[in-house]
Structure 1
Amino acid sequence: MRTTDEDIRAEIRAERSEQAELLAALRPEQWDAESLCAGWRVREVVAHTTMPFRVSTARTLWELVRSGGRMNRMLDRCARRDAARLTSEELVAAVRDNAGHPWQPPGSGPLAPLSHDVIHGLDVSVALGLGRRVPAHRTDLVLSGLAAQNIAFFGADLAGVSLRATDRDWSFGTGTPVFGEAQYLLLVICGRRLPPGHLEGDAAARFTGTPG
């Protein structure tokens, strides 16, 4: 059965609602723990994912000008600033109250915000060892939206490896196999390094732990 845009929007609402529930249960020290998004704690990740709900397009463009037109520099600066000024309760509310927010990156479709939410949600839950499993059909939607050119955008070095999911029929690339659940391989594609125990195979160490 064909997946419609409304089906994807329903998954976005569900993902944000589930993440809000997870975040509301975090202890203060977990908010200040490192995420899988290099250089950001959990609170910076949530400040980043909620920025489109809290900041107007005009203000975002102004912030971009302030950052010399450098998108990544702007996003990092704003995430750090907002993480410092917003409480954990305010960040949870920003997720919960905007489950149905229609934000999409310019020129994209609903798969883009779903991917954004799922990936950053995993940055938090995997780093904290919470054991959350993103529903399989939701992970499949995100993976289906990652064409080869989008995978290249993330800059992960996947040369010479074949990513092979252990929980569904999905693989990417050729070479030495790296095995893991699909949601963990999604993080590998996005250039994340995972905690030990999530990947298997001779090349798994390339994507595990912190850079040497």
Structure 2
Amino acid sequence: MDVREMIAEERRRTADLVESLDTEQLRTPSLCGAWTVKQVMGHLVAAVAGANGSAFLLLVRNGFRLHRANAQLAAKMAERPAGELAAMLREHAEDPFCPPIVGYPGQLTDLQVHGQDIRRPLGLPHDLRPDRLRVSLDFLVGGRAVGFVPRRRPAGLRFEATDVGWSWGSGPAVRGPAEAVMLALTGRRVALAELSGDGVAEFARRIPAPDRP
């Protein structure tokens, strides 16, 4: 399965997930900054269905501050009913758009990380696929993860995903399940408790709080 097929399947899985949630679950704070579960879903839909003139206008109005414009677009998209958001994500599951710099691995990583931003606070199993986790881990440490991982965060450390046979880097070790390594690399401090090794303390110092979208 190539990365585009992985992306399409993850979009459909996310649509199924959100469609299964009740109103209280949709209002639950996610792991992603101040966003609710539904607003995270709004972001995922906006990323594929909101690439139009209105998205660019928001970017201009926010002085080309991407995080701020992105948050506003997600919130606006999240005003729609959850069923409509799920339908939009399914409709665009196979959208061929490839974002600059981060490419398809960035899209896959966005889906996997934000999927966990939804599932973890709700106590739902992640069921992430090892091959997809490897793609995201390679992407996050590969130098193209603009907006995902500051370059200095993984520098000088060795990361080991103990459940998928993946490793990268040299120096004090940071090891644990692939899902936890992925989340910690992207700034989710909640995953630090699942990591071990003599590099964890230094790694933790490089992750600010609170988490950002």
Q: TM-score range by the shorter chain?
A: 0.7 to 0.9
Matching residue within 55, 64, 68 for 1:60: 55
For residue 194 of structure 1, give the secondary structure of its aligned residue in structure 2: helix
Give the whole-Å Cα distance in 1 for the aligned partners of 2:36 and 2:89: 17
Give the whole-Å Cα distance in 2 for the aligned partners of 1:157 and 1:42: 26
Shift of 1:200: 3.6
Shift of 1:108: 5.0
For residue 149 of structure 1, give the secondary structure of its aligned residue in structure 2: coil
Give the whole-Å Cα distance in 1 for the aligned partners of 2:105 and 2:191: 27
**Residue 105 of structure 2 aligns with which residue?**
111
Code of the residue aligned with 1:88 in structure 2: it is A
Aligned 8 A contact 1:103 1:113 in 2: no
Give the whole-Å Cα distance in 2 for the aligned partners of 1:14 and 1:180: 26
**Residue 163 of structure 2 aligns with which residue?**
167
Shift of 1:147: 4.0
- Pairing of 1:97-176 with structure 2 (within 5 A): 97-106=91-100, 109-150=103-144, 153=147, 154-155=149-150, 157-158=153-154, 161-176=157-172
TM-score by length of 1: 0.81
Matched, 1:87 2:85: no
User: Structure 2 vs 1, CA of residues 201 and 107 (structure 1 numbering), >3 Å: closer, same or farther?
Assistant: closer
Shift of 1:188: 1.0
For residue 46 of structure 1, give the secondary structure of its aligned residue in structure 2: helix
Code of the residue aligned with 1:126 in structure 2: it is R
Give the whole-Å Cα distance in 2 for the aligned partners of 1:91 and 1:71: 22
Extract unaligned runs of 5+ from structure 1: none
Matched, 1:192 2:188: yes
Extract unaligned runs of 5+ from structure 2: none
**Residue 74 of structure 1 aligns with which residue?**
69
Give the whole-Å Cα distance in 2 for the aligned partners of 1:100 and 1:72: 25
Code of the residue aligned with 1:115 in structure 2: it is T
**Residue 13 of structure 2 aligns with which residue?**
18
For residue 159 of structure 2, give the secondary structure of its aligned residue in structure 1: strand
User: Structure 2 vs 1, CA of residues 59 and 92 (structure 1 numbering), >3 Å: closer, same or farther?
Assistant: same
User: Structure 2 vs 1, CA of residues 147 and 42 (structure 1 numbering), >3 Å: closer, same or farther?
Assistant: same
Report how many aligned residue pairs link the two structures: 205
Matching residue within 6, 27, 30 for 2:25: 30
Moved more, 177-186 or 61-70: 177-186
RMSD: 2.8
Shift of 1:211: 4.2
Matching residue within 166, 175, 180 for 1:179: 175
Moved more, 103-112 or 28-37: 103-112
Code of the residue aligned with 1:97 in structure 2: it is E
Matched residues, percent identical? Answer: 31
Give the whole-Å Cα distance in 2 for the aligned partners of 1:138 and 1:196: 21
Give the whole-Å Cα distance in 2 for the aligned partners of 1:141 and 1:134: 12
For residue 105 of structure 1, give the secondary structure of its aligned residue in structure 2: coil
